[in-house]
């Protein structure tokens, strides 16, 4: 499917991504343009893919995986989507990845390796949280623990 068929542009004051009881909300009080791209099941049907990409043109893209508990699989989905996203020229500014899950493997070696790989290959931070979030979009481009 074409990229445009999987996208929706919004200027809502709260831009929400929700699935499987997991949710992330970006606060957008200035009502700037956000592009919501459905990746898994729309743009990319085969191979692992994350659920969504949130884009603010010229600022960056946040790859989002809303997961029940299989964080290891979520990391594979995000890495696969990051490659796909950059190789196809979809990247708009900085890149970041976010997993919202009921499981939080803070000290998992797979998690640590995935974070280092994101930083090395994409100069992008990887965030894994075990709670629904409400935050400013820009904070996800920072290399720090949530």
Residue 75 lies in a domain: yes
Neighbouring C-beta atoms of residue 105, cutoff 10 Å: 17
Do residues 55 and 91 make contact, with C-beta atoms less than 8 angstroms apart?
Answer: no
Where on the phi/psi map is residue 60: left (φ > 0), alpha (ψ -120 to 50), or beta? Answer: left
As for how many domains the chain has, the answer is 1
Pick the more confident residue, 145 or 42: 42
How many Cβ atoms sit within 10 Å of the Cβ of residue 58? 9
- Kindly tell me the sign of the dihedral angle through the C-alpha atoms of 37, 52, 122, 144: positive
Q: Is 23 inside a domain boundary?
A: yes
Mean pLDDT value across residues 26-50: 92
Q: Are residues 93 and 59 in contact, defined by beta-carbon separation less than 8 angstroms?
A: yes
Q: Is residue 24 part of a domain?
A: yes
Instruction: Kindly report, residue by residue over 118-133, the tens digit of the pLDDT.
Output: 999 999 999 988 888 8
Q: Considering the domain boundaries, does residue 107 fall inside one?
A: yes
**pTM (2 decimals)?**
0.93
With respect to residue 145, please indicate whether it lies within any of the assigned structural domains: no
Q: Residue 30: give the domain boundaries.
A: 3-140
Average pLDDT estimate for 96-116? 81
pLDDT of residue 106: 60
């Amino acid at each position: 499917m074409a990229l445009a068929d999987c996208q929706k542009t919004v200027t809502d004051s709260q831009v929400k991504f929700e699935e499987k009881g997991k949710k992330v909300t970006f606060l957008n009080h200035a009502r700037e343009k956000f592009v919501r791209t459905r990746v898994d099941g729309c743009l990319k049907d085969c191979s692992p893919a994350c659920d969504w990409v949130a884009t603010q043109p010229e600022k960056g893209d946040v790859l989002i995986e809303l997961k029940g508990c299989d964080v290891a699989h979520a990391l594979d989905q995000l890495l696969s989507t990051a490659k796909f996203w950059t190789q196809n020229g979809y990247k708009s500014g900085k890149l970041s990845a976010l997993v919202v899950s009921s499981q939080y493997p803070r000290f998992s070696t797979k998690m640590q390796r995935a974070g280092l790989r994101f930083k090395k290959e994409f100069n992008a931070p990887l965030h894994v949280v075990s709670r629904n979030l409400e935050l400013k979009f820009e904070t996800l481009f920072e290399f720090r623990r949530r």
